[in-house]
Amino acid sequence: MAENNLIRSMVRGVYALQKLRIQMGNRITMNFKAKLGLTSDGMSEKELEAQEKKLLDSIRESYVRITDGIVAEGEFSDIVTGGKLPTVKKFKGDELISTYTELVLVDQYMTILKDEEGHFAKMQKVLEGIPIYDHFLSKVTGIGQAMSAVIISEIDIFKAEYPSSLAKYAGLDVVQVGKYTDDKGVEKTVRAELIDAWLAENQDEEDLGVMLAEGKYQVTITGMGRTRKDWALVKREYQNKEGVKSIRDSITFNPFLKTKLIGVLGPSFLRAGKIFVDGHVMGAAKRLAAAKQLGFDSKGLNAKEVAEAVLDYLKQASCEVVIERSKYGAFYYDYKNRLEQSPHHKEKTDLHRHNMAIRYMVKLFLYDLYAVWRELEHLVVAEPYSVRIGLVHGVATESKNEFFKNKNLKDNRPESRV
């Protein structure tokens, strides 16, 4: 655990450095956009992001030229570094970096970038020798050293008694909340902790009965993904700065871990697959180039639409297109397809179904992580809760029905999202 704490300090430090670098990069691009007269009027978020990335890349290239920069060799071969800054008298700008002040500002950005990439490059040396990294994480397609370090430093597997413990800690589980409509037609929500207290109080009853809000409104219990929203918070005691014990609303999960799992690991699993065109592995850029050679026109399409249209076009052009998903990416597409075909999720937006599928995919990864990690540490490995009660997506098993019958939740039972 002492080693994990050191890794955690290193991980949090490098991500803090990354955040600082991103903030500085945003300020630089804003200044140069104003200087060059670039506007973002009418641009989509994707177009704006592409414009800023292109500008920042151009600024970095300009900086390297002015400082006689080099590409580092050996261990840090992917890092582009600048050389020694010229004196004010010897400074010769170009069409992009035209003043010495701009050069110094970009130099500060490049220094932070070099430090950040250097820290990430050293991650593997720190992780080697840690059992869960050597035997599992290093072998999972879509997980790199940085994400492995996040997982190892943020999770205490000794405290995760069940697979669901990991999902809850990462904020990926489902909480039971109440919904009711008052006399004015306003829909209101009953906090999850109140629902849990009511269920616990009535768990020994043969018939749970009906929960009432404000003494008269029937409450319907449903499942919702854990979040920072008010209905998912819990009351916790703490000592304020005056030394007096007080109560405040608190979240019940690790937000840093959730952000990395959903925002970084999930998309990484989706990108980890391979696409073969006529027997050759092709990335998105090569597929687009191949399609354009055959007459494909991407005008008016956004990046996502282009990617999908390119595959369809290549297939129509009699090219053999084979998509090889990563292990966890396959879970995503399978579950998303089931959601799209299910009448229960017909009204949900595509983004909603996408987010549900991402959560499902990452949870399956966490369940695998739990089983391997607990076994490596010689700890008891429990089955997932859904397996214990016979709950399978799309299958109403006998044990599942018997479970809900015994609990007598009937139509108030929470929606299951394993």
pLDDT (tens digit, 9 = 90+) per residue, 52-79?
888 888 888 888 878 764 434 444 444 4
Q: With CA atoms as reference, report the closest residue to 117 among 63, 142, 81.
A: 81
The model's pLDDT over 246-281, given as tens digits with 9 standing for 90+, comes to: 999 899 899 999 999 999 999 999 988 889 999 998
Q: Is residue 370 part of a domain?
A: no
Q: Are 276 and 324 in contact, with CB atoms under 8 Å apart?
A: yes
Assess whether pLDDT exceeds 60 at residue 140. Answer: yes
Q: Is residue 389 part of a domain?
A: no
Q: Is residue 131 part of a domain?
A: no
Q: Which amino acid is at 383?
A: E
- Quote the CA–CA distance of 229 and 177 in Å, as a whole number: 12
Q: Is residue 146 part of a domain?
A: no
- Which pLDDT belongs to residue 68? 66
Q: Is residue 241 part of a domain?
A: yes
Residues 112 and 179 in one domain: no
- Which pLDDT belongs to residue 385? 63
- Which pLDDT belongs to residue 165? 92
In whole numbers, what is the pLDDT of the chain averaged over residues? 83
Residues 99 and 182 in one domain: no
The model's pLDDT over 150-209, given as tens digits with 9 standing for 90+, comes to: 999 999 999 999 999 999 999 999 889 999 999 999 999 999 999 988 888 887 776 667
Q: Please state, as a whole number, how many other Cβ atoms lie within 10 Å of the Cβ of residue 414.
A: 17
Residues 108 and 180 in one domain: no
Total of domains in the chain? 2
Supply the DSSP string of 221-260, one letter for each residue.
Answer: EEEEE--SSGGG-EEEEEE-TTS-EEEEEE-SS-HHHHHH
Residues 88 and 6 in one domain: yes
Assess whether pLDDT exceeds 60 at residue 415. Answer: no
* φ, ψ for residue 220, nearest 5 deg: -100, 125
Instruction: Dig out the tokens for 8 from the structure.
Output: 């955690």
Domain boundary among 204, 219, 252: 252
Decide which of 205 and 380 is more confident.
380
**Sequence-ordered strand ranges (E) for 64-193:** 70-71, 80-81, 174-181, 187-190
Instruction: Dig out the tokens for 58 from the structure.
Output: 């151009």
Q: How confident is the model at residue 130 (pLDDT cuts 50, 70, 90)?
A: very high
Domain around 114: 2-121
Q: Is residue 277 part of a domain?
A: no
Assess whether pLDDT exceeds 70 at residue 14. Answer: yes
Q: Please state, as a whole number, how many other Cβ atoms lie within 10 Å of the Cβ of residue 369.
A: 21
**Which three-class secondary structure state does DSSP give residue 82?**
coil
Alpha carbon 56 to chain centroid distance?
A: 25
Q: Please state, as a whole number, how many other Cβ atoms lie within 10 Å of the Cβ of residue 348.
A: 15
Domain boundary among 105, 121, 137: 121
Q: How confident is the model at residue 391 (pLDDT cuts 50, 70, 90)?
A: low
Interior CA angle at 379 toward 375 and 382, to 5°?
80
Domain boundary among 102, 121, 140: 121
Average pLDDT value for residue range 361-382: 94
